[in-house]
Amino acid sequence: MQTRMPGSRSTLGRRLLPVLLAGLCGGLALTILSLSPPGPSSGLADEVTAALAQTGVTSPVTAVLLDFRGYDTLLEMAVLLLALGGVWSLVAHLPRIDGRPGIMLDRLTRLYLPLMLVVAGYLLWAGGTAPGGAFQSGAVLGAAGVVLTLGGWRLPPRLAGWPLRLVLTAGLVIFIAVGLLPIGFGSLWLDYPRAWAGGLILLIETTASLSIGATLAALFLGGQPRGDP
């Protein structure tokens, strides 16, 4: 199928490429090696620790994700939805019709699935105080969806219409709604009231992890699940 033109330009490029890449790699490595040793002002860890008390969570990463840089996280969930919209518009319907799974996969799915749901719930809850949170929990939920799909399970048609879309968009909608809430109290967009911050972050994270899990599983499926017309 493919016709590659034998020419001096391509052979020269083929020889030159490793040299150029080695130069680039060496330059980047030198940059990293020449970084000055960490001084007292390097990094934002101290600023984050100092402001942690205002956020209602004690895990610094969760505080950065949901409070200090809440805008990034909000837009990122919009990116996830946009990617799913792109995939759904490119692939009209579910392309793969798989046969029945083997007995091994079937049994393992039944065994793993409750465990994965428990792990996802734990990660979500632990996100307030330790590493964890909506994205990790959503990733496990998405993997659970992938395992279910591989096991031959399909979303029932009556759930594939608006209920699925509700779950997919709930994270973003709740996030925007909670972000708008402080404006009513004379505060800024996404600046949660300090007394409620912990609870609001938990609310955002719970819906976000459900939405992220559903989106990731839907991205894996590749096409729009068939629903009732």
User: Is residue 24 part of the contact set for other proteins (CB under 8 A)?
Assistant: yes
Least distance from C-beta 25 to other proteins, angstroms? 4
User: Is residue 63 part of the contact set for other proteins (CB under 8 A)?
Assistant: yes
Residues 6+ apart with CB under 8 A from 35: none
The count of residues interacting with other proteins (CB under 8 A) is 54
| Residues 168, 39: Cα–Cα separation, whole Å | 44
Pattern of binders to other proteins over 77-96, x per CB under 8 A? --xx--xx-xx--xx---x-
CB burial of residue 78 (10 Å; 0-12, 13-18, 19+):
middle
Exactly one of 55, 109, 120, 138 binds other proteins (CB under 8 A); that residue is: 138
Exactly one of 54, 58, 72, 102 binds other proteins (CB under 8 A); that residue is: 72
Exactly one of 11, 12, 29, 129 binds other proteins (CB under 8 A); that residue is: 29
| Residues 162, 206: Cα–Cα separation, whole Å | 20
Exactly one of 6, 40, 99, 184 binds other proteins (CB under 8 A); that residue is: 40
User: Is residue 119 part of the contact set for other proteins (CB under 8 A)?
Assistant: no
Residue ranges in 194-223 that form contacts with other proteins under rule CB under 8 A? 212, 215-216, 219-220, 222
Radius of gyration of the chain (CA): 23
The residue to which tokens 């990122």 are assigned:
76
User: Is residue 57 part of the contact set for other proteins (CB under 8 A)?
Assistant: no
CB burial of residue 1 (10 Å; 0-12, 13-18, 19+):
exposed
Residue whose CB is less far from other proteins, 16 or 183: 16
Choices 21-29, 108-116, 152-160, 174-182; region in contact with other proteins by CB under 8 A: 21-29
Contacts by 61-68, CB closer than 8 A, 24 or more apart: 61/131, 61/133, 62/127, 62/128, 62/132, 62/133, 62/201, 62/205, 65/133, 65/134, 65/135, 66/133, 66/134, 66/201, 66/204, 66/205, 67/192, 67/197, 67/201
Region for residue 43 given its phi and psi (left: phi exceeds 0; alpha: psi -120 to 50; beta: otherwise):
left
Which residues sit at the interface with other proteins, rule CB under 8 A? 1-2, 5, 14, 17-18, 21-22, 24-25, 28-29, 32-33, 35, 38-40, 42-46, 48-49, 60-61, 63-65, 69, 72-73, 76, 79-80, 83-84, 86-87, 90-91, 95, 133, 135-136, 138-139, 212, 215-216, 219-220, 222
